[in-house]
Amino acid sequence: MSVKSDAAVYLEQNRGRTVSGQELADSLGVTRAAVSKAVKALRSEGYRITAAPNRGYILEPESDVLSEEGIRVLLPEEHRALPLTVYRSIDSTNNEAKRYAMLGAPHGTIIAADAQTNGRGRRGKSFYSPAGTGLYLSVVLRPEKPLSDCVYTTIAAADALADTIEELTDCEPKIKWVNDIIVNGRKVCGILTEAVSDIESGMAETVIVGVGLNVTTEDFPPEISRTAGSLRCSATRNSLAAGIISRIIEYTRRADSRELLDRYRSRSAVLGQTVGFIRNGETVTALADSIDDDGSLIVRTENGIERLRSGEISIIR
């Protein structure tokens, strides 16, 4: 790594503590001048590093620059060597993850970005992805499982998001079937799961799990201003990213476990609610009754019970 990257890692490890220039120089094996140059470069990238006269440097606790160094140092040891790339801006982390996958990227490859110019949601929708306020990342998985089991991957990812949010914030996340995270009645996160399968074997060769999380985002476009929200928390995006990544890797190994499915059900924002879904071009109103063991949403319409295996629903208030 470069001196700048090494300095970022060291400061991240000592966030909130005064680190002398000499300590940094000795730890990195470089000169004080090199340390000064690295700190200047980090500041230019947005790191909030203050200098105390005759004392040293402090990476302020509220500094929130999404970075490879900042994420990697917070990952559990067993995940710290995963391939990880962080972009300042990209069209879509899912698009880039698919490009990486086509080139042979291994299981656990991570693409993250500070901003997306063409953030994608389900069914061709866009995901508002401004710089500096959200977390946008995708994980490449090589599941070696039947394509039919991929619905459990989305369930596992939703649990990973909810568990991380609960651990690092005061928010109480709910899950709107099948892939949205809701806080205080507003959507703060969307999950986009895309699979590449072998048609003959029916096996999923690659699954891309994409996450778009509004951390401190405000001023949403008019078309989503009434439904979108943010965590509005003090947790850094690096800490949220590390928690989400490690849990996605762990949970998707046991994606069809009863524990994860029960946890998903317990957090449901739709069970017992009146919902609407599209069938043959028309909106059907129903009562969300339960979530089946295969992840399907069981609803009661005026014509009886129906099982929704995919698609999108709206909560009718």
Note the pLDDT tens digit of each residue in 99-145.
999 999 999 999 999 999 999 887 778 899 999 999 999 999 998 88
- Between 3.40.50.1820, 3.10.110.10, 3.30.930.10, 3.40.50.620, what CATH number should domain 68-266 receive? 3.30.930.10
* Whole-structure pTM value: 0.93
Q: What is the pLDDT of residue 255?
A: 67
Residue whose C-alpha is closest to residue 59's, from 42, 73, 76:
42
Decide if pLDDT at 69 tops 70. Answer: yes
The CA distance from 39 to 42, in Å, is 5
Residue whose C-alpha is closest to residue 269's, from 161, 177, 165:
177
Q: Which helix (H) or strand (E) holds 218?
A: none
Domain spans, the chain: 3-59, 68-266, 274-315
Q: Is 255:263 a contact under the CB 8 Å cutoff?
A: no
Please report the DSSP string for 83-114 in residue order: -EEEESSBS-HHHHHHHHHHTTPPTTEEEEES
The CATH classification number of 274-315 equals 2.30.30.100
SS3 33: helix
DSSP letter at 116? B
Q: Which two tokens stand for residue 215?
A: 């951390």
Decide if pLDDT at 209 tops 90. Answer: yes
Mean pLDDT for 289-310 is 93
Reported as a single tens digit per residue, the pLDDT across 249-296 is 999 988 678 899 999 999 999 999 999 998 888 899 999 999 999 899
- Tallying the residues shown for the chain, one arrives at 317
The CATH classification number of 3-59 equals 1.10.10.10
